[in-house]
Amino acid sequence: MPLVPRNAISPMPPLAEGIGLPWDVPVDDAVAEIARARAVHGDTFVVESGRDRYLFTFSATGVESFYALAEDKASKGVADYLMLRRKLPDEIFDGRRTLPGSLFRKGDVASYLVNLEHALAATRAELGPSGTVDVFALTRRIAHRMGLASWAGPGCADGESFERLVVAFDALDGADAFVHPDAMAAVAASGKAAEHAALAEITEVIGEAVDRRPATDLFARIVAAWDPEPDPVRRAGVAWDVALIHIASMSNLASALGWALVDLVEHPEVQAAVVAGDRELADRCALESTRLAQRSIMGRTVLAEVAFDDGDQTYLVSPGATIATLLPLTNTTAGPGLAEWRPERWNRSRLADTSMLASPTLVTAFGHGKHSCTAQPFSLAAMSTAVTDLLGTYELRAGWTSYPRPVPAQIGGVARADGPCPLDYATRH
Ligand code: HEM
């Protein structure tokens, strides 16, 4: 019997020749590149980039089939790993005992939100009564402080330990793999030197926190999982569990909060209702800003042959290929009016009206199906709390002259702004 080659797709969809992904070839705009391929080849096509083969799908049935793929046959975990390993040192993936998926047990979110209140108080103290701050630097610092208070152990969200961890996590940031994919060749060429140094720093700071128990609930769980081990295995194990959790939290939350602030500053009438305490409206605003800022490539790496139906054709996809879709290409165009910021289109965390969509799965902020974000309720609560607090404390005035642009090479996660995004603030009287 003839062997089916690795990556084979049968029948073979159109191949988007001359199109590559930003890890492998320089591109001006990674999303525009895939949009160009779609304009030429339709809703299903193949991109071959570097050693990888991607089956992109954008039709209603294709996207529904994508979200229905079983993890043991077409894996999100493997696709994420293959992306993140371009940036993160190998050892961080080895032998983890507490994973980001276990962050949201009963009671956990409440304790993270208390830490957010502390982070907001520290932010007000740092900002003082008036000044200018970069929106995304501000939201990133808030997210670092809340996250490290929630899972990094006592003392890690304040003072020198906090500042050391911020510098180290900014260097280690796994999101660079998809925010700055064009920088990954240099990361590989350096042998991940900066990342190894950052992980060593994180291990030292969090290792000290292990000795400072008692701890927060989550940190206590992480430490307990390593209790039987001798030092320094225990310290490194705890620190790397925390590191992977914090890196997962850094993928989207801080930037989504940044866009929510930007959009509310741009819409003073909605802002007034949020400041007056309309919490449901704040949630809708957070969802709407996140939807519009989505730049996620969603991938599933095929582990065992799957039959993939895009509505016109069923393809047999062999192990090694990745089935993918790209949220920015459907989120704003799958129906009329989706390019506009209209928070009222959301009813709780669903679109109020999906009648104009060929499939509800074509639009999303937090994903669909079994892999949809486990952190969604927490993230929405955190964003709403933070925007309500900041807008209630300060009059905010846009220092940008035109709406901020995403980093053009970015292909994954929520958009990062390409360049400074200054915000003038003054305490409300
Ligand atoms: C506004 C903030 C966030 C957005 C927009 C967001 C978005 C998403 C999306 C779109 C997915 C589905 C990906 C796919 O199907 O391939 C996802 C999954 C996931 N997210 Fe989030 N996320 C956010 C915050 C967070 C935070 C703070 C964490 C905590 C560490 C987190 C942890 C996860 C995990 C563990 C999954 C995988 C779930 C699974 O495979 O079962 N997310 N997220």
Q: What's this model's pTM, rounded to 2 decimal places? A: 0.96
Residue nearest to atom 9 of ligand 1 (CA): 366
253 Cβ below 6 A of ligand 1? yes
Phi, psi (rounded to 5 degrees) for 109: -60, -40
Give the pLDDT of residue 114.
95
Which of 78, 246, 325, 373 should be mutated for ligand 1, with most atoms under 8 A from CB? 373
Average pLDDT for residues 134-153, to the nearest whole number?
A: 96
Tens of pLDDT along 373-389?
999 999 999 999 999 99
**Minimum-distance ligand 1 atom for the alpha carbon of 80:** 16
Give the pLDDT of residue 4.
64
203 Cβ below 6 A of ligand 1? no
- Max CA pair span of the chain: 79
Instruction: Write b or e for each residue in 21-54: b if 16 or more Cβ atoms lie within 10 A of its Cβ, otherwise e.
Output: bbbbeebebbbebbeebbeebebbbbbbbeebbb
Mean pLDDT, rounded, of the chain: 95
* Highest CATH level, class, for 9-427: mainly alpha
248 Cβ below 6 A of ligand 1? yes
Percent share of the chain, pLDDT over 70: 98
Rounded Cα gap, residues 19 and 158, in angstroms? 46
Tens of pLDDT along 159-210?
999 999 999 999 999 999 999 999 999 999 999 999 999 999 999 999 999 9
Better pLDDT: 228 or 213? 228
**Minimum-distance ligand 1 atom for the alpha carbon of 101:** 35
- Collapsing DSSP to helix, strand or coil, 410 comes out as coil
147 C-alpha to center of ligand 1: Å?
15
Please say whether the beta carbons of 110 and 141 come within 8 A. no
